[in-house]
Amino acid sequence: MTPVDSPSPRSEGVTSPEVTMNSAGLREITEPHYVLATGCNLTTAQKAEVDALVKKVRPVIPFYITAMNKTSMSGSLVICKDYAAKYLPHEEQFITLCHPHKSNIWVDNLKVITDGSCMLSVGWSCFVLHNELRESDICLFEVSKNDGEVTMVVHSLEGGHHLQGKEPESQNKCSYPVKVEVTEEEESDKEHAESSYYYSRYAYDLTGEEQEEIFRSALIQQGNPVYVAVLQENHVSSRNNLLTFPREFAAKHLAERSHDILLLRPNRREKWCVRYYYHSMMRIQGFSYRSWTKFVSDNGLQEGHVCVFELMKGVCEATMMV
């Protein structure tokens, strides 16, 4: 173990192998219990907390320990290549983030960088906000694998600055730009330039308080395009259903062809592959038929429900968090 008072000169994470005595009285080195990210130095008290957690959890895969900084607070967290190469998938995939004391789950996209390291990106900022993480907090990632699915339970060491029960500042602000561009029966000519938020006509009628409540629970990642729709009967019917997207939203953010879009739900492990239909001559673009009907049925969607479709940026295939 590198002494905590002396930063490690290594460029990658610092491991903590154990030297033990086997039954024959010979020394042997066992798998480390945790790996420290570069520049993450634990105090004596923090190390005691980590050791206690290791003893309690007895992780099969070593913990990955890092300190929150401005980069990881802003929406991306890099996991060093030595740890990623040994314990994480070698290709991009969706993983599940959990909190040890909460039932919620967060779906994130684990990206593999060219140098071999991995990065949490899409859902990480939502996890940070929901769990009130702060700069300099120490996070321990408990990694587990099951049939190719990766789950990370994120433990955080308590700090005096970490105020329990206080709502994150970013959630208290009501600043939701509106851009209305809707199709056919929901046509409107009201526009607000420089916005990535698009509303159906019925969603445009939502009050400021209703919008604030919706977006506080949705926690949209900054920069992701968003379409807000109040579901109507033709959106959720079992036959001849059609949920259209605004023409400008589709032109700016979606491919001009019919293709599949992966739909995810917060706190759900399931994924839905829904067909997105594009017809330039009829000026129709949206979800329809069996795959959309299944999503509606599986999630109990009804007329009058408000759906927020968040198009995820930085992923290989078209993906929306609903």
Average pLDDT, the chain: 79
Helix/strand/coil for 72: helix
Domains and CATH numbers, the chain: 34-157 (2.40.330.10), 197-321 (2.40.330.10)
Strands of the sheet containing 93-98, edge to edge, are 14-15, 34-36, 63-67, 138-146, 149-156, 93-98, 105-112, 118-120, 77-79
Q: What is the pLDDT of residue 14?
A: 56
**pLDDT tens column, 289-305:** 889 999 999 999 999 99
Of the pLDDT bands very low, low, confident and very high (cuts 50, 70, 90), residue 173 is very low
Task: Report if pTM > 0.85.
Answer: no
β-strands 226-230, 197-199 pairing: parallel
Strands annotated E in the chain: 14-15, 18-21, 27-30, 34-36, 63-67, 77-79, 93-98, 105-112, 118-120, 138-146, 149-156, 179-180, 197-199, 226-230, 242-244, 259-264, 271-279, 284-288, 306-311, 319-321
The pair of structure tokens assigned to 194 is 């420089």
Q: What percent of the chain has pLDDT over 70?
A: 78
The residue among 111 and 18 whose pLDDT is bigger is 111
**pLDDT tens column, 39-74:** 898 999 999 999 999 999 999 999 999 999 888 887
Give the Cβ contact number of residue 167 at 10 Å: 11
Q: What percent of the chain has pLDDT over 90?
A: 39
The residue among 113 and 239 whose pLDDT is bigger is 113
